[in-house]
Structure 1
Amino acid sequence: MKKFALLVLTIFFLLKASYALALSLENVSLSTEANYLVCSWELKDIPIEKLDETLHHGIPVRLQFEIIIEKIRRFWWDETLLHHLVLREIYYDAVKNVYNVQFVGISSAPRAFSSLEEALNVAACAQNLPLLPANLIEPGAFYRLKIKATIIQRISPNLPSRVLRIIFKGGKIESDWKIIRFRFSN
């Protein structure tokens, strides 16, 4: 009986600890703009202290947003219309004392910010991100938008990863899938 109680307590504390480092996607919205289906969101519950400590140890952090749009079909498998990754990297420049945000896949220079909160506001939020041309979506059909956010610690092979994993346990923090079912109409 003692072993069972110990097992239940261990599972409870593990679930509580994993919940403490869970991200949440909020204010997810879909709309059309300039003949495109666009999406906006905000990432909340970010462990800023842990990220700041990780960045100050010279470890860049990657924010990854996985976006899937599926057409819901009755009595058949759903059709995937879009499977896309939006990547943003944050790293700390100790010489200039700034946080840089790089939009991966965009050929612009990294944007510099004086505080981590400002850098996260830019990196963790999206406003009217174009996803699909509106002409690929049939009016009256049902669709499903799924978004998941992940913060990944990027350890270089030159660094002692076993020591650094203690700072940012597991190397990544994930949100749950945010699922929105919608119907497109003209």
Structure 2
Amino acid sequence: MRLLISLITALIILTGLLDSQRSFTAEAQEIGPHFTDIIVTTSDTHLLLFGELQESLTEEMLEALHSGIPIKFLFFVRLILNEPNWPDDELVAIEFSHSLTYDTLKNTYNVEIEETSKKDITAASLEEAQKLLNEIHGLKVIELSKLIPERSYRLKVKADLYKKTLPMSLHSIIPFISWWDLKTDWYTIEFTY
């Protein structure tokens, strides 16, 4: 009987620890760069992805931008077919970038959005430029004709926002060091088509 009580007590404590870990993880995801408002939908012909990054620009990045150094975000999108009792099948792997530059003479920002045929947009304010930089707006992921109805899929999205590295001459002396990286975790959505 004591063993049963000990096991139940341990199970209750373990459940409490797991719940607190889950809430801590959810809070940790809200600190730093993260995706919000991720939507997977369809057009007449394609599966589309919409989403937005939050907390993507740091003070250091803004200082570099206003000093003439461009900011480049790399986005990674994966579409995976979930096969029961079989290895998952990666259907799509897309990589694209968004770049932000600042024109000191005109006091304007230029955003290059690669996933829509290298679209260049000029913005008058940093807020407008940041919104354009952070948005994934209607990315065509895959043709609907390539999806199998009533099957389960997993769409993953991630962004690499900043990588500060050593000057090239120092990489030969200290080969495997980068100062720090700023990136999001993989954000995953599961759906049935």
Q: Verify same fold: TM over 0.5.
A: yes
- 1:176 deviation in Å? 0.9
Specify which structure has the bigger relative contact order, considering alpha-carbon pairs within 8 angstroms and separated by 6 or more residues: 1
Of 114-123 and 19-28, more deviation after overlay is shown by 19-28
Distance (whole Å) between structure 2 residues aligned to residue 53 and residue 27 of structure 1: 28
Task: Find the counterpart in structure 2 of residue 173 from structure 1.
Answer: 182
- 1:66 deviation in Å? 0.4
What is the number of equivalent residue pairs in this alignment? 157
Is residue 2:57 matched to residue 1:82? no
Distance (whole Å) between structure 1 residues aligned to residue 30 and residue 52 of structure 2: 18
- 1:103 deviation in Å? 2.0
Is residue 2:130 matched to residue 1:120? yes
Contact 2:159 2:183 in 1 (8 A): yes
TM-score (ref. length: structure 2): 0.71
Contact 1:37 1:131 in 2 (8 A): yes
Classify 1:107/1:129 alpha carbon distance in 2 versus 1 (closer, same or farther; 3 Å).
closer
Letter in 2 for 1:76: W
Aligned pair partner of 2:160 in 137, 142, 150? 150
Distance (whole Å) between structure 2 residues aligned to residue 145 and residue 20 of structure 1: 20
Q: Deviations over 1:97-155 (max 9, x none)?
A: 11111123655563211222111111211222211100111111111000001213588
Aligned pair partner of 2:191 in 174, 182, 185? 182
Unaligned runs of 5+ in 1: 1-17, 159-168
Of 118-127 and 47-56, more deviation after overlay is shown by 47-56
Task: Find the counterpart in structure 2 of residue 73 from structure 1.
Answer: 83
Question: What secondary structure is seen at the aligned counterpart in 1 of 2:62?
Answer: helix
Question: What secondary structure is seen at the aligned counterpart in 2 of 1:62?
Answer: strand
Classify 1:115/1:81 alpha carbon distance in 2 versus 1 (closer, same or farther; 3 Å).
same
Unaligned runs of 5+ in 2: 1-27, 169-178
Distance (whole Å) between structure 2 residues aligned to residue 68 and residue 109 of structure 1: 22
Q: Deviations over 1:55-76 (max 9, x none)?
A: 0122111111100000011222
Distance (whole Å) between structure 2 residues aligned to residue 63 and residue 90 of structure 1: 9
Contact 2:115 2:139 in 1 (8 A): no
Distance (whole Å) between structure 2 residues aligned to residue 153 and residue 58 of structure 1: 17
Task: Find the counterpart in structure 2 of residue 56 from structure 1.
Answer: 66
Letter in 2 for 1:95: L
Higher-Rg member (1/2): 2
Task: Find the counterpart in structure 1 of residue 45 from structure 2.
Answer: 35
Question: What secondary structure is seen at the aligned counterpart in 1 of 2:93?
Answer: strand
Alignment RMSD (CA, Å): 2.7
Letter in 2 for 1:61: I
- Misfit runs of 4+, over 6 Å: 18-21
Distance (whole Å) between structure 2 residues aligned to residue 104 and residue 110 of structure 1: 9
